[in-house]
Amino acid sequence: MDGKYNVLLIGGGGREHALTWKLNMSPNLGKLYVAPGNPGTAEIANNIHLNISDFSAVAEFSKKNDIDLVVVGPEQPLVDGIVDYLENENIPAFGPKKRAALLEGSKEYAKEFMVKYNIPTADYAVFSADEFDDALKFVQSKESYPIVLKADGLAAGKGVFICESEDEVKKRLSTLKNDQNLQEAASKLVVEEFMEGEEASVFVIADGHTSHIIHNAQDHKRIGEGDTGLNTGGMGAYSPAPVLSEEILERVKKEIIEPTITGMQIEETAYHGILYIGLMITNDGPKVVEYNCRFGDPECQVILPPLENDLLSLMIATTEQRLDEFSIQLDGDYRSCVVMVSEGYPGSYKKGMEINGLQNVDKHSIVFHAGTKKDGGSIISNGGRVLSVVGRGDTLKKAMDHAYKNVEQISFDGCYYRKDIGHKGLKRFT
């Protein structure tokens, strides 16, 4: 890479703070802008007010500020086609184009793709919004629980329900049909076989032809300890995940990653950017739970710190189809992330609670802001998921201990966090 690259990063959550933190380390970085960013990104980059749904405004800002690369953090702009728009304006962007992002944007499309290219996944059926009665009859005919209901479209991590009984199926079908926040995503419904096993995620960077695994992690989606309660955007994560042995990772490469990248080429929609593959490690081997077309949150917070490569160089190489020049280098340590959330999340919650103790976090942990806001000289809560606290250690236990030690240094009214992040991983060492 020659010269300095000016970068615009789209997004404002914990994932984007982690990306800002990592990009800021690049010797090739010129100016770094984040739209809209948060108080954490403001400390190391330039936060800007920009309507990220207005692609013309993004392009105009990029041209005026000599942006060399736009990095798209969240899924919605990718699914809406921001990369296509920017490339038509001759602005390089890191992320998949609209058709490729359908792997996340439509669960029906993703399932059809997996079946077509013999990628292992759960059996399923699809119903339109006016066929929910048929969906119930289909579930009743199976007489097998638990069963999984998934809104077809994007639902911010809240459109998936694991149902243990017919009564719960009826309740969740009613939610998907009547909740205004879910109606658009649930214009179609995927009913899926429940897969027994342990979940984990693999993160791949791809330039349309070459692909590399960046790292792997295990997320904790449920609000309650012991994986109970409602699904959330993610309550914590750790990396690497011991369930993903070298043998399993080799199977993931051959049975899932390679046919996915090849299949996208055959579909004439080559995949560029980050491909998040959510897996279930079953007795039959790894199977795909879901694809995402970007870094996960909070997985991003645990897979970027151990990455020794210059992230900006990897991203530029992706846009220029030069990933074959690189190999991924990791520092070998564990990371554990605990997400601190507002009371009531993932339902209704209060904002505006003053956050105390951020200055007390020690060198063994990093705090990434998500739902925060600057209010005078104070930092206040401004979302459901407020902070991600990431601990490091040469064992998983040490990483967890550092994360929780520093979580205890931070407080705000109504703060809640799970106290069992990483416990599943520890069991594999005992």
pLDDT of residue 428: 76
pLDDT of residue 175: 87
pLDDT of residue 405: 97
Round to whole Å and give the CA distance between 86 and 2.
Answer: 22
Q: Which amino acid is at 328?
A: I
Structural tokens at position 248 = 């399993």
pLDDT of residue 429: 65
DSSP category for residue 416: B
Is residue 15 helix, strand or coil? helix
Round to whole Å and give the CA distance between 86 and 99.
Answer: 15
pLDDT of residue 234: 94
The full set of domains in the chain, from first to last, is 7-97 (3.40.50.20), 124-193 (3.30.1490.20), 196-325 (3.30.470.20), 334-427 (3.90.600.10)
pLDDT of residue 91: 98
Write the secondary structure of 304-370 as one string of H (helix), E (strand) and C (coil).
CCCECCCHHHHHHHHHCCCHHHCCCCECCCEEEEEEEECCCCCCCCCCCCECECHHHCCCCEEEEEC
Chain segment 42-72, per-residue pLDDT in tens: 999 999 999 999 999 999 999 999 999 999 9
Instruction: Give the global pTM.
Output: 0.94
Chain segment 121-152, per-residue pLDDT in tens: 999 999 988 888 888 888 888 878 999 999 88
* Burial grade of 423 (CB within 10 A; 0-12, 13-18, 19 or more): middle
Give the residues of the chain that fall short of pLDDT 70: 1-2, 429-430
Cis peptide before 146 (omega within 30 of 0): yes
* Buried-state track 352-374, b at ≥16 Cβ within 10 A, e below 16: ebebeebeebeebbbbbbbbbbe
Q: What is the number of alpha carbons within 13 Å of residue 319 lying toward its C-beta?
A: 21
pLDDT of residue 84: 98
